[in-house]
């Protein structure tokens, strides 16, 4: 896979560094190699690129000035939150300005009467819930990276979390955004109300990966903390039965707050790492959290227990107290680092599939892994069909990274073939540009490019990310479809 995300010819304009220094406070324009190094990648570390310069503006007016300078000089801009993104969305450009919003870290208001909080984009996700806690409120979307990732990054990626099965994604939990166009003009979308006049630009801008506008303020929705949360842990003798149990719970009319699945390699890794008491012989475990109103939770815990047993669980445990509930979660939450101990490197995928396809897709992933001689551990948001296969590899073994990426690509194409998508919550960034060519046809991609141009006619905001050029797709298609054969011809297409 090429490491160069962007097919633009480079057009370095080092004069912009002096121009930025003239409008920004001392110490907020970084351009020495040592200063640039920390910005060379985000959470997708296989891609690295130092920017020409980093700007750290401190207020909206300064961001406006940076954007105006870049717009006038036609210098591309990449915005960065905490850099925890897993698809290379914040990967810098060699001839571009990286705008870090790290200094926009203030919570401007928490209003318990309207159940909302107004925050700057660099505020960490968890900090919002911490600020709302004194009122018995919290911000629901909880990506596993929530101690580090920023709310601006969350909006740009439409991030999810363990609890989005019940409480929705970022798009369902924000009310209003303040943004800047690439020309530096300030505008607002959404309202403090539940809707806004005109086109739903709030929905369009959420998940737009920094390609359409720069988010400078966010009003999020807050929810009352559930009265009670209860967790069940169920063990299964095979992955397929566990997958079917997931569909069974949903079909029974229960909406768990979270419904997570781990397969045997993940269970063992987590157990070795944190000793959560997981059943290491099980081929799969499901962790099901029910929360809300006390009386409702009691009722649902009973029903879910019965459903899991009748679906073929070999064992169902209900956390006896809060300590045990946290212990059940501890293994799940530590699963990524735990898997990291099994292998020098791992690559985290993010496809979503219809729930009914879980058993078949998990089986096929295992077969593909065997074909590529790589190990895969699965830890994922089963309730909404969002898979996170972790491909284990060792970058020091020549060719392994490339094999891991090929396997990853094959897994994502499998997700598309069964009616799913190449990314559920991590975004396309630079990582899944090729798979976008599989999911969308030329006309659809052209429509996306026209939407981009409606906001950013010169293509200066995060160019080369999220939506592949038609040229790239043509090349990818040419090398990918052998003799006109489709991938996975045995699967029905819909």
Partner 1 sequence: MTDPSFSTGSDPDPNPDVSTDVSIGGNVQDSEAALVAQVHEAQAAGRALRIQGTGSKAFYGNSCPAEAVLDCTGHRGVVAYEPSELAITARAGTSLLEIEHLLAEQSQQFPFEPPHFGDGTGSDDIGGGTLGGLVATGLSGPSRPYTGSVRDAVLGVRLLNGRGEVLHFGGQVMKNVAGYDLSRLMAGALGVLGVLLEVSLKVIPTPPATLTLVHECSLEAALQQLRRWARRPLPITASAWYQGRLMIRLSGSDEALAESHRLLGGTPLDVAESAWRVLRDQRHAFFLGDAPLWRLSVSPATPADALPGAEDQLIEWGGALRWLTGDQDVAQLRALAQAAGGHATLFRPGRGPMPADGVFNPLEPVVKRLHQQLKSAFDPQGILNPRRLYPDL
Sign, CA dihedral 365-369-372-374, equals: positive
Residue with Cβ nearer ligand FAD (355 or 426): 426
Cα-flanking dihedrals φ and ψ of residue 467, to 5°? -125, 115
How far is Cα 335 from Cα 472, in angstroms, rounded to an integer?
35
84 binds, among partner 1, ligand FAD, none (CB under 5 to 8 A by kind): ligand FAD
Among 50, 56, 93, 157, which residue interacts with ligand FAD (rule: CB under 6 A)? 157
Tally Cβ neighbours within 10 Å of residue 98.
26
Answer yes or no whether residue 467 interacts with ligand FAD by CB under 6 A: no
Among 420, 463, 464, 465, which residue interacts with partner 1 (rule: CB under 8 A)? 420
* Binding residue count for ligand FAD, defined by CB under 6 A: 36
Answer yes or no whether residue 54 interacts with ligand FAD by CB under 6 A: no
* Binding residue count for partner 1, defined by CB under 8 A: 98
31 binds, among ligand FAD, partner 1, none (CB under 5 to 8 A by kind): none
**Dihedral, CA atoms, 487, 451, 468, 348, nearest 10 degrees?**
-70
Residues in region 7-36 near ligand FAD by CB under 6 A:
none
Residues in region 217-256 near ligand FAD by CB under 6 A:
none
Range in contact with ligand FAD (rule: CB under 6 A) among 127-135, 156-164, 274-282, 360-368? 156-164
Residue with Cβ nearer partner 1 (205 or 269): 205
Answer yes or no whether residue 389 interacts with ligand FAD by CB under 6 A: no
How far is Cα 420 from Cα 353, in angstroms, rounded to an integer?
4
Range in contact with partner 1 (rule: CB under 8 A) among 2-10, 20-28, 37-45, 196-204? 196-204
Sign, CA dihedral 128-133-134-137, equals: positive
Answer yes or no whether residue 85 interacts with partner 1 by CB under 8 A: no
Among 210, 226, 408, 463, which residue interacts with ligand FAD (rule: CB under 6 A)? 210
Among residues 383, 351, 348, the alpha carbon closest in space to that of 242 is found at 383
234 binds, among ligand FAD, partner 1, none (CB under 5 to 8 A by kind): none
Among 49, 62, 129, 144, which residue interacts with ligand FAD (rule: CB under 6 A)? 144
Among 15, 130, 227, 402, which residue interacts with partner 1 (rule: CB under 8 A)? 227
Range in contact with partner 1 (rule: CB under 8 A) among 3-11, 323-331, 370-378, 428-436? 428-436
Answer yes or no whether residue 251 interacts with partner 1 by CB under 8 A: yes
Residues in region 431-460 near partner 1 by CB under 8 A:
432, 436, 439-440, 443-445, 447-448, 450-455
Give strand pairing partners of 266.
none
Which residues lie below 8 Å from residue 42, measured CB to CB, with a gap of 6+? 80, 83, 84, 85, 86, 88, 89, 90, 91
Among residues 107, 199, 89, 76, the alpha carbon closest in space to that of 155 is found at 89
Answer yes or no whether residue 476 interacts with partner 1 by CB under 8 A: no
Instruction: Locate 446 and state its tokens.
Output: 């052209």
How far is Cα 300 from Cα 227, in angstroms, rounded to an integer?
14
Residue pair 119/107 in contact (Cβ under 8 Å)? The answer is yes
Answer yes or no whether residue 452 interacts with ligand FAD by CB under 6 A: no
Looking at the chain, how many residues does it have?
494
Residues in region 419-438 near ligand FAD by CB under 6 A:
425-426
467 binds, among ligand FAD, partner 1, none (CB under 5 to 8 A by kind): partner 1
Residue with Cβ nearer partner 1 (6 or 271): 6
Residue ranges in contact with ligand FAD by CB under 6 A: 42-43, 78-86, 89-90, 101, 121, 143-145, 149-150, 152-154, 156-157, 159-161, 209-210, 214-215, 336, 425-426, 462
């Amino acid at each position: 896979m090429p490491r160069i995300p962007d097919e633009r010819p480079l057009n370095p304009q080092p004069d912009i560094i002096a121009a930025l220094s003239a409008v920004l406070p001392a110490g907020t324009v970084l351009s020495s190699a040592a200063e640039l190094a920390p910005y060379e990648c985000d959470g997708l570390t296989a891609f690295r690129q130092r920017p020409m310069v980093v700007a750290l503006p401190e207020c909206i007016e300064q961001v406006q000035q940076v954007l105006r300078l870049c717009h006038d000089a036609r210098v591309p801009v990449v915005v960065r939150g905490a850099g925890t993104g897993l698809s290379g969305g914040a990967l810098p450009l060699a001839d571009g300005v990286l705008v870090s919003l790290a200094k926009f870290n203030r919570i401007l208001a928490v209003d318990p009467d309207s159940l909302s909080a107004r925050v700057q984009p660099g505020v960490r996700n968890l900090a919002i819930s911490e600020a709302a806690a004194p009122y018995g409120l919290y911000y629901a979307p909880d990506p596993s990276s929530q101690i580090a990732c920023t709310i601006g990054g969350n909006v740009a990626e439409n991030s999810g979390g363990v609890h989005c099965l019940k409480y929705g994604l970022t798009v369902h939990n924000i009310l209003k955004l303040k943004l800047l166009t690439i020309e530096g003009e300030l505008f607002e979308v959404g309202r403090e109300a539940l809707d806004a006049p005109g086109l739903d630009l709030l929905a369009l801008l959420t998940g737009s990966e920094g390609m359409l506008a720069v988010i400078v303020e966010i009003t999020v929705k807050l929810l009352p903390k559930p009265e009670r949360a209860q967790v069940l842990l169920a063990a299964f003798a095979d992955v397929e039965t566990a997958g079917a149990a997931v569909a069974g719970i949903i079909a029974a009319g229960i909406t768990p707050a979270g419904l997570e699945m781990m397969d045997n390699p993940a269970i063992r890794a987590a157990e070795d790492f944190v000793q959560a008491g997981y059943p290491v012989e099980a081929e799969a475990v499901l962790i099901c959290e029910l929360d809300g109103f006390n009386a409702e939770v009691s009722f649902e815990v009973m029903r879910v227990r019965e459903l899991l047993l009748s679906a073929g669980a070999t064992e169902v445990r209900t956390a006896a107290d809060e300590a045990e509930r946290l212990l059940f979660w501890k293994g799940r939450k530590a699963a990524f680092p735990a898997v990291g101990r099994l292998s020098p490197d791992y690559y985290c995928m993010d496809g979503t599939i219809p729930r009914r396809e879980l058993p078949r897709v998990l089986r096929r992933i295992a077969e593909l892994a065997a074909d590529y001689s790589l190990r895969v551990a699965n830890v994922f948001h089963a309730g909404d069909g969002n898979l996170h296969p972790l491909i284990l590899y060792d970058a020091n073994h020549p060719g392994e990274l490339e094999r891991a990426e090929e396997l990853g690509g094959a897994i994502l194409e499998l997700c598309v073939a069964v009616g799913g998508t190449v990314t559920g919550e991590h975004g396309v960034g630079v990582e899944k540009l090729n798979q976008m060519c599989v999911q969308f046809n030329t006309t659809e991609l052209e429509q996306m490019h026209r939407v981009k141009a409606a906001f950013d006619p010169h293509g200066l905001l995060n160019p080369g990310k999220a939506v592949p050029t038609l040229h790239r797709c043509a090349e990818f298609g040419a090398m990918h479809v052998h003799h006109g054969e489709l991938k996975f011809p045995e699967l029905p297409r819909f």
